[in-house]
């Protein structure tokens, strides 16, 4: 059991996914949190992680290769007991299956996270075990109803923990043009992404603000807060966020990482991971320090 991922991956001829440099912060957070999560699960006796947009397991970031999220999960110490990795792309699935073939903990399946994930979890995972779901779509592919289903899936006191990538500037804000041109397809996508129509007043306010210099940041903050509120309404009592910027504190926004848990320990571990990753990299801050997260209550 287990894979030796101590070194950077080599080009093995399998599918490789291109990623941006700022993806490394997300990957470092995954590595940090999974280790803490598994350690916290010792008393439960079993730990499991779901990756809903797994990719092929290796990313090309500028001139280097880097292990992707599912391989980071399998690399964690102490080791996780089970990984369920799902991807819709057949090439990604074939590559990830080959790369994890020697690790008995990995289950790699092809499917749509919104229609197939819960059934795959029923087949491959243990409903009573602590569970972490990592969901990092590139845009608006993740329906909020899927998160609601995840929150209800586990049998136990605490729901499935979630680390979700909310693609803001790299995703949905590109659809929400200030003029409304080409807007016909956007409302349905936004309704599914947020699980509510409450995003629309934020967009209308952004339109009305015109060229006000603080309008984009103000709208972004409200979108993230809305997503956090939706998570709370779903039953998560601990919600944290971090914004990933493209190059340092002043760089252009990319997306927000949002963590949801029902457990104080999960909150403390993620707080530590946000702190550790962001104070040891070029990207030092979001809007505030983690302990002043706009989503925290």
pLDDT tens, residue order, the chain (297 aa): 445 555 789 999 999 999 988 888 899 999 999 999 999 999 999 999 999 999 999 999 998 999 999 999 999 999 999 999 999 999 999 999 999 999 999 999 999 999 999 999 999 999 999 999 999 998 899 999 999 999 999 998 899 999 999 988 767 877 776 555 545 668 899 999 999 999 999 999 988 998 899 988 899 999 999 999 999 999 999 999 988 776 554 556 668 899 999 999 999 999 999 988 876 544 333 333 333 465 665
Place of tokens 């966020």: 241
Residue 18: helix, strand or coil by DSSP? strand
- b/e per residue 72-82 (b: at least 16 CB within 10 A): bbbbbeebbbb
Q: Select from 287, 279, 233 the least CA-distant residue to 260.
A: 233
- For residue 238, give both structure tokens: 């601990």
Distance of CA 145 to the CA centre of its chain: 16
Tell me, what's the pLDDT at 278? 72
- For residue 123, give both structure tokens: 């087949």
Distance of CA 281 to the CA centre of its chain: 19
The domain defined by 17-292 folds into: Rossmann fold (3.40.50)
Q: Select from 143, 88, 91, 90 the least CA-distant residue to 120.
A: 88
Tell me, what's the pLDDT at 283? 37
Please report, for the chain, the start and end positions of each structural domain, with discontinuous segments joined by +: 17-292
The burial class, CB within 10 Å (0-12 / 13-18 / 19+), for 42 is exposed
Q: Is residue 283 within 8 Å of 251, Cβ to Cβ?
A: yes
Tell me, what's the pLDDT at 81? 98
Question: Around 238, how many Cα atoms within 13 Å sit in the side-chain half-sphere?
Answer: 20
Quote the crossing angle between the two packed helices 144-153 and 113-124, to the nearest 10°: 10
Tell me, what's the pLDDT at 6? 59
């Amino acid at each position: 059991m287990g894979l030796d991922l101590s070194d950077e991956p080599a080009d093995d001829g399998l599918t490789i996914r291109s990623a941006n440099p700022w993806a490394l912060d997300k990957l470092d957070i995954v590595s940090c949190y999974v280790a803490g999560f598994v350690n916290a699960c010792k008393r439960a006796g079993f730990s499991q992680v779901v990756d809903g947009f797994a990719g092929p397991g290796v990313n090309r970031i500028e001139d280097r290769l880097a292990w992707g999220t599912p391989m980071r999960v399998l690399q964690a110490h102490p080791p996780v007991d089970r990984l369920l990795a799902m991807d819709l792309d057949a090439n990604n699935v074939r590559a990830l299956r080959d790369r994890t073939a020697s690790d008995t903990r990995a289950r790699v399946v092809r499917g749509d996270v919104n229609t197939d994930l819960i059934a795959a979890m029923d087949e491959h995972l243990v409903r009573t075990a602590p569970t972490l779901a990592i969901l990092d779509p590139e845009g608006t592919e993740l329906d909020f109803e899927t998160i609601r289903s995840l929150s209800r899936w586990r049998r136990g006191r605490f729901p499935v923990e979630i680390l979700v990538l909310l693609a803001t500037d790299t995703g949905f804000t590109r659809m929400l043009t200030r003029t409304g041109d080409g807007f016909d397809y956007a409302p349905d996508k936004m309704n599914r992404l947020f699980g509510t129509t409450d995003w629309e007043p934020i967009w209308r306010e952004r339109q009305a603000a015109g060229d006000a210099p603080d309008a984009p940041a103000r709208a972004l903050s409200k979108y993230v807060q809305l997503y956090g509120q939706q998570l709370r309404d779903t039953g998560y009592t601990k919600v944290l966020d971090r914004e990933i910027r493209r190059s340092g504190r002043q760089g252009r926004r990319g997306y927000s990482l949002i963590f949801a848990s029902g457990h104080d320990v999960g909150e403390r571990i993620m707080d530590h991971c946000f702190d550790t990753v962001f104070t040891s990299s070029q990207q030092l801050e979001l809007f505030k320090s983690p302990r002043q997260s706009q989503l925290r209550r």
